[in-house]
Chains A and B, each alone.
Chain A
């Protein structure tokens, strides 16, 4: 008697569209997905443990390697946590510079998202365009901190070096360029009917499901919950700026794409305001060369590019943290993968990975 049965397909760890070394076990019935199990850990480097074996200052460059597409935001998160622990007051100019670079990096990271989603859907030209424009941001970062990927620019107590006038000038120029290239993406991707039909109504998550998976960042905003720590906590100098929290309606891939697409404009708005209001003053607080925070523990969260980035640090009063735990948004967001893939086709699973926008460096930490 003939019967049908399901089969397992291992997508990854070596697969063109799993963004690194994610492995997804797909249980398939023909082309239909019955379940998708992400299997993580292929890129585990033990960053938390490494941070525990370095001094606080030495730990900062390791956070670059978590979410290597938006290193500034990681530096920001870690430094904020240590500052809170050690009670360091950061000068205002430093806070402004931090916000500028973090938001620029958010733009760069969202550009990578748009590009990688485009190439996962087969539009490799769209990806090349986003990477071309991301290059401008990387050049800005190269100018200000001397690196293009692993910046190590935001330090405990401020920033490494002051921004040059050239950087400010070039950033203004870049901001003028933003609407221009966004219009181009609109033409080639957003307005494209094939692109729309691949994303609309696919991988829908309800607000309850997204909340139960503890998703954060653009993924939860796509379901319509305006949860943005920049607004909720109002840390750093974010309350001084006027920006909107972009939300979606349906929680499908199209909304996830649109939330990030529109967040680029919001980030550009923040950068513009921060540049306009950049105060004079020191760019670095007085931090003892050997940092020994008092005994205690702290959990500090910031809005990373992919969601709520939290650093939990326990100090035992020595130069090294006793325990560091990182709440990595990509890792937590990955938990929704099964719900996003179930009942859709293989082609949608690729779109779903991309739409979560996981970064393996952060997922596996």
Chain B
């Protein structure tokens, strides 16, 4: 069982293509496209599965049955129906909006959330781009998603959207800092920014959730804020600013926002798994199964947060980040540094 990995499958596919084409360079190019296709497939599948999962989790927590019409008793085809509905909706363009910026915003938002999938180690050897500054690149890319929100908010020519856009900037910037510092603890222990090394380090010793519990909690909180989910969903805050930057979008444009939201949800779950839960490692089952089990568990935890908590207020949220999370992350980093120093000198 241990031998069945996605990496091995990729190797096998590569040798097959090499056999057909007979050129190393061309094969590599083809393999890159295969990897790209796989990443996109993961995102799209995730969007479908996670919308269904979210509706069911939400319904079950709210003592409801959830979707149960389309596709049998359990409503399995509900996401497909939702998608068709979104595709067939009218594309409403608000009066007085900044057309170009307005149209670019949903597309640009989708790009960084899809891009970071290239960095995730799904299984042994299954990394699209195994960069040696993986963590750094990841944070750099994911912080790009601030801009499209602001663009959408600004270009919509709506006050609600504008407030939402401004809130996004404040929120995402202030939660970026503690997030980075919480991840630095992990990086310090591993001594590498390569994602594969981080996973490998956890396989050798223990999962980092044991070594870095505070960093884990900080990361979970900041990740919730970064993906704009309750209790930090102030960006789309439907009870105050209606839907924030999304308020004026409809149809497929809105669907792209939606897609990006679920891509983000999945990616923070994958990151939590990679950084703190030992990645693909686990006994008995193949790595890829372990990986997805852990990821889905994290997805459930994030959904669980969302359907339990009320949302915070903007000032509370920002002060929580700057006054609680950031000092905590720094202290955590200091103790990790001391710990790592002591450990190394003892070795």
Contact = CB atoms under 8 A, between A and B. Distances in A.
A346 to B, nearest CB: 5
A31 B230 contact: no
A274 B18 CA distance: 86
Contacts of B314: 31, 345-347
B68 interface: no
B3 interface: no
Interface string A151-193: 0000000000000000000000000000000000000110010
A321 to B, nearest CB: 40
B316 A123 contact: no
Interface string B302-326: 0000011111111110000000000
Contacts of A350: 239-240
B241 A122 contact: no
Interface in A188-204: 188-189, 192, 194-195, 197-198
A123 B310 contact: yes
A194 B310 CA distance: 7
B61 interface: yes
A231 B238 CA distance: 40
A121 interface: yes
Contacts of A118: 310
Contacts of A119: 239
Nearest to A7: B159
Contacts of B226: none
Given A15-B242, A122-B237, A194-B231, A128 B62 contact: yes
A132 interface: yes
A126 B163 CA distance: 27
Nearest to B62: A128
A189 B308 CA distance: 9
A192 B315 contact: no
Instruction: Give the one of A119, A126, A347 with max B CB within 10 A.
Output: A347
A121 B308 contact: no
B63 interface: yes
Contacts of B233: 122
Contacts of B231: 122, 194
A33 B223 CA distance: 30
A315 interface: no
Contacts of B344: none
A122 B310 contact: yes
A4 to B, nearest CB: 13
A125 to B, nearest CB: 5
Given A122-B230, A345-B314, A347-B314, A192 B159 contact: no
B302 to A, nearest CB: 15
Given A194-B312, A345-B314, A347-B313, A121 B239 contact: yes
Nearest to A188: B308
Contacts of B313: 197-198, 345, 347-348
B315 A16 contact: no
Contacts of A197: 312-313, 316
A95 interface: no
A188 B308 CA distance: 7
A228 interface: no
A352 B185 CA distance: 42
B73 interface: no
Nearest to B170: A31
B: interface residue count bin: 20 to 34
A124 B237 CA distance: 12
Given A7-B159, A128-B64, A194-B231, A346 B241 contact: yes
B316 A132 contact: no
A132 B230 CA distance: 22
Contacts of B63: 128-129, 132
A31 B171 CA distance: 14
A260 to B, nearest CB: 17
Contacts of A194: 231, 309-312
A322 to B, nearest CB: 44
Nearest to B239: A17
Contacts of B234: 347
Contacts of B309: 122-123, 192, 194
A248 B88 CA distance: 52
Nearest to A202: B313
Contact of B310 (A7, A16, A198, A348): A198
A109 B329 CA distance: 45
Nearest to B315: A345
Nearest to B59: A128
A7 B63 CA distance: 42
Contacts of A121: 239, 310-311
Contacts of A195: 310
A31 B163 contact: yes
B318 to A, nearest CB: 11
A337 to B, nearest CB: 16
Interface in B86-145: none
A357 interface: no
A54 to B, nearest CB: 38
Interface string B233-263: 1100111111000000000000000000000
Nearest to A26: B159
Contacts of B230: 122
A77 to B, nearest CB: 31
Nearest to A30: B166
A348 B159 CA distance: 18
Instruction: Give the one of B58, B64, B313 with max A CB within 10 A.
Output: B313
Interface of B: 58, 61-64, 159-160, 163, 230-231, 233-234, 237-242, 307-316
Interface of A: 7, 9, 15-17, 31, 118-126, 128-129, 132, 188-189, 192, 194-195, 197-198, 345-350
Given A9-B159, A125-B308, 11 more contacts: A31-B315, A121-B239, A123-B308, A123-B309, A123-B310, A123-B311, A124-B307, A188-B308, A194-B231, A195-B310, A346-B240
19 contacts: A9-B159, A9-B160, A16-B242, A31-B314, A119-B239, A122-B233, A122-B309, A124-B62, A125-B61, A126-B310, A188-B308, A192-B309, A192-B310, A198-B313, A345-B314, A345-B315, A347-B234, A347-B240, A347-B313
